[in-house]
Structures are given as C-alpha cells and as structure tokens.
Amino acid sequence: MKIIFLGDIVGKPGRQVITKLLPDWKKEHNPDLVIANGENMAHGSGFTVSGFEEVQKAGVDFFTSGNHWPRKDDGLALFQNKNTPIIRPANWVGNIPGDGYKVIEVGTTKVAIINLIGQIFMHEQHNSPFYKLDEILYEIGNNAKVIIVDMHAEVTSEKQAIGWHADGRVSVVVGTHTHVPTADARLLLKGTAYVTDLGMCGGRDGVIGDDREIRTSQFLDQMPRKHAIQEDGPKQVNSVVIDIDSKTGKANSIERLDEVVE
C-alpha cells in the first residue's frame, strides 16, 4: 500500500497549489490513499465546507487536523457528520463533536487513522497523547493492520517520543503543526515510518505561510495586527510518500516529496 501524506494546508494558496500538483502526483506515484492535515485550510485557521470540498475534489481522500480544528462554525458540520473523512485530535478534552480516529477501507485493506495533539507549548490543555494512543490501539485491536498517526505538536522531542512509543505498533507516525519540513524521514527500529514534521502547503516566502511583513513587524514591536496569509510568490507542497506492507502493517519505506511552484 502506498500513501501520500500532505503537510498542513495553509489558506487559499495551499488549496490552490494542491489543486495544481496533486492530480499529476497521483498519476506519477499511484497512491492508494492521500491524507492531508487541513486545519489551516480556511485562511489559516479551521475548516469551511467549501474549502474542504475544493481540496477533496483535487484528490485528497482523508483529513486530519490540530489545534485550529474548531475555529470556524461552518467547519464544525464536517466533524458532526460521521461519514465525512475527517478527524480531530483524539486527546482533546470535553464532550465535543467529531472522532479522534477512524477505521476506513482502502480497497480490501482496513486502515486506522489516528489524530493526536501535543501537550507542550499549546494554548489549550490536552490529555496525554501517549496514554490516548495506547487506549486507541487497544480499541482497534486486530481490526486494522495498517495504522497511521498524525502527531500535531510544537516540540520535536514530544513528536520523536511518540514515534518511539508507537514503534512497531503502528505503520506510520508523521508530525505536523510547525509548517517547517524536517529532514529525518526514516524507518524506526521496529518498522514504523517516521518524520518529525511534514511541513506545509502554502506560500513559501512568508512566515510559516503567514504574511512576512506582518509577522516580522510583530516580532519587532510586539503589537497586534490582523492575520493575513502570504498570497504572492512561490507556493510549496511538503509531503511524504510511504510504502507499507498491508499484510504485516510494517512500513517498507518513507521518502520526502516536496515541490515548489513559481
């Protein structure tokens, strides 16, 4: 089984560059499943139904999220519908809409997709992603061999620790949230594919997808400014391609797949 996992989609530029590149990538790599973290899809924060449908039409099969998932009222409808291919962090607290993981069928193979969120340097308070992962894996049992985890977190050490905690028990652990791609895509010791951060899909010449002038000015004078996305200039897509043995659930390979569109 071959999977493409796209990094955080940031606003309209991210949606546009995926629409441009993904159809050709699917022809070239022939993935069985395309997943994307979409939590920044709606102008950098949350989901809208129209934006979701736009990216889904471009070829993304399933969506994970992170700390911004509930920011748009329109987007909450996506999580309330059990049939929508989307999940929010499983260790988010409270009685909230949506699912933290789903088991889907890809051809004849059952695939479990799990979304977790880190505890360190996040604004919200979350339960332990480590214990939540253990709980979910117990619930899944033998119902799925192929298991994919999106760990949405600020801190590289927390992501790496989740990778080792999950090694040999899941097929893939990808990190999201920082919007900066890391160069450590590899197989861990017990057969789990891992990368600390996928990166992002959006404007390359901004500050993690945001307008560079606004974000730089905030660091200079600490004054609040209206949020804006980097609309002009080159657009980038950061992702990985993972090959998995669907019978054993072990990963055979993981490679970065990155491209810039001028």
* Residues annotated catalytic, as ranges: 68
Q: What is the pLDDT of residues 79-135, one digit of tens each?
A: 999 999 999 999 999 999 999 999 999 999 999 999 999 999 998 899 999 999 999
Q: Phi and psi for 91 in degrees, rounded to 5?
A: -95, 15
CA 182, CA 141: separation in Å to the nearest integer? Answer: 31
Q: Which residues of 78-115 are buried (b: 16+ CB within 10 A; e: fewer)?
A: bbeeeebbbbbbbbbeeeeebbbbbbeebeebbbbbbb
Q: What is the pLDDT of residues 35-49, one digit of tens each?
A: 999 999 999 899 999
Nearest partner of 187 among 128, 233, 244, 253, judged by Cα: 253
The domain 2-261 belongs to what CATH superfamily? Metallo-dependent phosphatases (3.60.21.10)
Q: Where do the structural domains in the chain lie, given as residue ranges?
A: 2-261
- pTM listed for this prediction: 0.97
The predicted structure's pLDDT at residue 4: 98
